[in-house]
Amino acid sequence: MEDLPKALVTEILKRITSTSDLNSLSLVSKQLYKIEGNQRCAIYVGSGLCTATKALTSLCARFPNLRKVEIDYSGFIPGHGKQLDNKGLFVFSSHCSSLTDLTLSFCSCIDDSGPRCLAYCKTLVSLRLNSAPKITSIGLFSVAVGCTSLSALHLIDCEKIDSVEWLEYLGRDGSLKELVVKNCKGINHRDFLKFGSGWMKLQKFEFERKRGIDDRLLGDMVYDSSYNAHSMDIYDFCCDSLKDLRLAHIKTWPEVGLRVVLGKCKALEKLCLEYVHALNDNDMIALSRSCNNLKSILLCLNLQCYSSDVSYCETRTSFTDNSLYAIALNCPMLQIVDLRFTRCSRDWPLEIGFTQKGFLTLIQSCPIHVLVLNNANFFDDEGMKAVSSSPHLETLELILCHAVTDAGMRFIAHTPCLSNLILRACHNITGVGIAELGRAHKLESLVIEDCGEISLQATQGVIKSVHYSSKFSDALKK
């Protein structure tokens, strides 16, 4: 190896992706040690990291061209030693001159002095703080002022960040392209209206409110189903660059807050709304009219109380067929539809605002490639028959769809492009329906979980790739 040209050795090392293999190879010779160290651009460290200043300085000298550093203390216990503190973070920020991406997870020994150190990182583009219990808004403001190249900021479970001077500053600067805030109890969705002109360049925005015990309850709040938050442009900002939007567990009543964003996203491609309170058809209609580039939509809907006059109140999910008709009419590029309904009883089908007629209008109007239905009580075998004619459908996932039976399987088996089928807790489908799939010889992948009437033997020989389990997967439980 010592006789090989340096350029060739460098190229060989670039093709090795395993960190353990790179570590082993670097011990073979001084040449490999130096070359591998110079080209290593990312490291992931945790409880095994020696936090002594001399050791950290040596680590940075070993890898002088680090661009991405992730420090993760998840699962840490006192017996694991010392965590990285402010002094250690200063070593990284002052010695890694090429650092562009930094993630700090469960770093309980870093307070506001730590983020101040990051002012040295003029090249820092992305910062992720995950469960940083001692960092407050003061430290975050230091980052906003000092890290002039910052374009991506993620804040997750940061309990002490409350005031939003940092957000106003970043809004005036206008450099952020990605902003994710999840489970930070001091930050409200209305605070983001202070982001001002910063919305113009933002391409990805995600906000998830920290939930409390009362979130599981229906509550006694009644929302106005005819209220239109988009009839007047009361907030002077635009989101022309926003492509990816996720809002979760926020309450948009009586203050309007972030719901106004839905009518301002001209470039939106991916939308995720999870249990957003008080939304109605006017919000979805405004969104569909403003963004005809929409490619993916995920709606997680639960029961809420709505009324258009004082004499009548109905308990249902947020949107009705009017929303589906608007999307079908205005979003011709829609490819992924994921509809999930929580605590909706199959004995009360009107609890879901959608009907099968409205749903099929959407499916037949857009080039749907991926369809996920969870607890969609309106969807039955006739729906399966209509979906089976979808020319672009490749993946279908049904969860708790009790009205779908073996007859539906007979229809879906002949869907032109269907290659992936996932069935979870669909208790009215039996081995007879699975046999229909085998006779069609079209599927490439079949997943069956917690479908009590389907045995493991019934899946044998249907297709080559079958995953079978008598229980829900962990991902579904979440």
CATH class of 1-39: mainly alpha
Residue pair 433/405 in contact (Cβ under 8 Å)? The answer is yes
CATH topology identical between 42-210+235-242 and 380-477: yes
Residue pair 358/382 in contact (Cβ under 8 Å)? The answer is no
User: How confident is the model over 344-357, as a mean pLDDT?
Assistant: 91
Residue pair 443/459 in contact (Cβ under 8 Å)? The answer is no
CATH class of 380-477: alpha beta
pLDDT at 324 over 50: yes
pLDDT at 477 over 60: no
The whole-chain average pLDDT of the chain stands at 89
pTM, 2 dp: 0.90
Spatial CA neighbour of 334 closest among 285, 374, 299, 291 = 291
What are the extents of the domains in the chain?
Answer: 1-39, 42-210+235-242, 380-477
Tell me the CA end-to-end span of the chain in Å, nearest whole number: 50
Q: Torsions phi, psi of 206, nearest 5? A: -140, 125
Residue pair 431/456 in contact (Cβ under 8 Å)? The answer is no
CA distance 203 to 243: 5
CATH class of 42-210+235-242: alpha beta
Per-residue pLDDT reduced to its tens digit, 112-129: 999 999 887 889 999 999
Least confident of 64-73, 167-176, 217-226, 375-384: 217-226
pLDDT at 472 over 80: no
Spatial CA neighbour of 430 closest among 446, 408, 415, 414 = 408
Backbone angle region of 97, left / alpha / beta, with phi > 0 → left and psi within -120 to 50 → alpha: alpha
Spatial CA neighbour of 76 closest among 125, 109, 40, 42 = 109
In this predicted structure, what is the pLDDT of residue 475?
A: 47
Confidence of residue 165 (pLDDT cuts 50, 70, 90): very high
pLDDT at 333 over 80: yes
